[in-house]
């Protein structure tokens, strides 16, 4: 079995951290080794380069890059490594995060960034786990169990709402 890989969660500013919490918690839920960094592509470009260049050597399987506004962090990191980069656009601007989203999702050809929804922190983590699961069957099992739990939660919500609706409808 291949050695367990880790996920590097990189955010462009400490102001992104509140959104990142759900991502970090989800990675923890799947017992993924996680390291967290504040690295700005424009304020600390050399650190961004260093992290991305060393990612493969250091056993990083996936990089999650969260940033807002002209969110070039994910693209810059992806330029220096073949480790998959997931872009998490942060809703941090007067443009409601559309600027962040487009900065990540519209990467020109050659260097992809797998972009999730604006503030889609949980999905960023789940996608990272899915990528790691290609080499770790136990993660596939954990992901399937997570899907099953979600199904059960929705079915429970359906029962609850039907009950409340019956009261409203007086039936």
Residue of 104, 111, 69, 77 lying closest to 88 (CA atoms): 104
User: Which listed range, 63-71, 102-110, 119-127, 149-157, lies at the site for ligand RP5 (CB under 6 A)?
Assistant: 63-71
The verdict on 99 binding ligand RP5 (CB under 6 A) reads no
The verdict on 63 binding ligand RP5 (CB under 6 A) reads no
Residue 90 CB, shortest distance to ligand RP5, in Å, is 4
The verdict on 91 binding ligand RP5 (CB under 6 A) reads no
| Residue selected from 5, 51, 65, 68 as contacting ligand RP5 according to rule CB under 6 A | 68
DSSP secondary structure string for all residues of 86-130:
EEEEE--STTTTHHHHHHHHTPPTTS--EE--TT-HHHHHHHHHH
Q: What is the 3-state secondary structure (H, E, C) of 59-95?
A: CEEEEEEEEECCCCHHHHHHHCCCCCEEEEEECCCCC
The verdict on 40 binding ligand RP5 (CB under 6 A) reads yes
The smaller minimum CB distance to ligand RP5, of residues 12 and 84, is found at: 12
* DSSP state for residue 13 in the 8-state scheme: S
Residues forming the site for ligand RP5 (CB under 6 A)? 12-13, 15-16, 40, 67-69, 90, 92
């Amino acid at each position: 079995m291949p050695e367990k890989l880790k996920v590097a969660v990189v955010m462009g500013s400490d102001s992104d951290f509140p959104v990142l919490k759900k991502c970090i918690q989800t990675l923890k839920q799947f017992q993924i080794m996680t390291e967290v960094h504040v690295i700005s592509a424009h304020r600390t470009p050399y650190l961004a380069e260093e992290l991305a260049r060393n990612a493969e050597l250091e056993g990083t399987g996936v990089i999650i890059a969260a940033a807002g506004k002209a969110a070039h962090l994910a693209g810059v990191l992806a330029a220096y490594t073949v480790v998959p980069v997931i872009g998490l656009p942060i809703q941090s601007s007067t443009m409601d995060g559309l600027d962040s989203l487009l900065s990540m999702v519209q990467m020109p050809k050659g260097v992809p960034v797998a972009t999730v929804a604006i503030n889609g922190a949980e999905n960023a983590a789940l996608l990272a786990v899915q990528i790691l699961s290609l080499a770790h069957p136990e993660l596939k099992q954990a992901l399937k169990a997570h899907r099953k739990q979600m199904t059960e939660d929705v079915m429970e919500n359906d029962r609850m709402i039907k009950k409340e609706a019956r009261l409203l409808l007086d039936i």
